[in-house]
Amino acid sequence: MPPKLKPLDQQTIVITGATSGIGLATAKGAAAKGAKVVLAARSEQELSQAAEEIRSKGGQVATVVADVADKADIERIAQVAKTQFGGFDTWVNNAAASIWGRLEEISSEDSHRMFDTNFWGVVNGSLEAVKYLKQHGGALINLGSVASDIAFPLQGMYSASKHAIKGFTDALRIELEEENAPISVTLIKPSAINTPFPQHAKNYMDKEPKLPPPVYEPEEVAVAILHAAAHPERDIYIGGGGKMMSTLNKNLPSLMDFVNKKVTMKLQARDEPPRNPSGSLHQPSNDGKVHGDHPGYVMKKSLYTRATIHPVLAGVAMAAVLGTTVLALQNNKDNKSE
């Protein structure tokens, strides 16, 4: 039996990596729906800015300066949630970093730091959240990626970390289900998202990094995260393009390798020099932005994602389209017979 999750306006939601991109979009969306939010990130300045904006709109928020790679910091996040709001109902492991560059070029120091954030940050957050949620029930939501299923060239270490997150999350879900723990465990798999992510990455290339299409707005990921906070889901892909690539990679891996080799390699760099090669891998960014400046087309919504999280509405819509089509065909037939 799936866990019963509270409505959003009755929840306290913990969000790591909460001061930019997907995390900040989710924090704003959750607060707008009446949830209390606990925001965690490395930058005190960005946390203060985010909290001020949320409070100005009537939201309830607590902040924690924390590095998810540090277990003691993770424990402090949980403690703040308990002290400020009496606990939490959903924990979102969102903090992440990336590196653009060929695998042979990347230093061990940078690779280890990225795994400390992406993988060990999720492990630390998940295990801390589970200790509390086993007693009270709720949702654990981990941010994977389409890169959890596909290996992207020039983001090899990032892809490896997201593969590791998928393996950990799936195994944890099975173990919790086996002991009937009242916890919903969801893995979110975004496609490329228009956040400051490329500018925050450590960049070994001689050009500014760029996300390969299709690219979606971060609010679409926030919609899926907040849906999973109130409705048990196993996996949610953000974007039909990402789901298509994942399916293609599963069934025709050699073809996907060919596409990545011939196409994706060329789509991950702008025709301009690097802006900030160091990125925020080893220090906070201090920009506090939800959106990036992707130079190509950005989709505001994904019909595929909306259909997966609202299957009844999708069914109604498909039935309406089918009914309209049948009626049009019948009218056309009748007109021809006159």
Catalytic residues: 158
Token duo for residue 39 = 């925001």
Q: Rounded CA gap, 109 and 35, in Å?
A: 38
Phi, psi of 60 (to 5 degrees): -105, 125
Q: Rounded CA gap, 37 and 62, in Å?
A: 6
- Residue 21 · residue 225 · CB < 8 Å: no
Token duo for residue 334 = 């009748």
User: Can you list the pairs that 96-99 forms with residues at least 24 positions away whose Cβ atoms lie under 8 Å?
Assistant: 96/17, 96/121, 96/143, 97/200, 97/201, 97/202, 97/279, 97/280, 97/281, 98/155, 98/158, 98/197, 98/198, 98/200, 98/201, 98/202, 99/155, 99/157, 99/158, 99/201, 99/202, 99/203, 99/204, 99/281
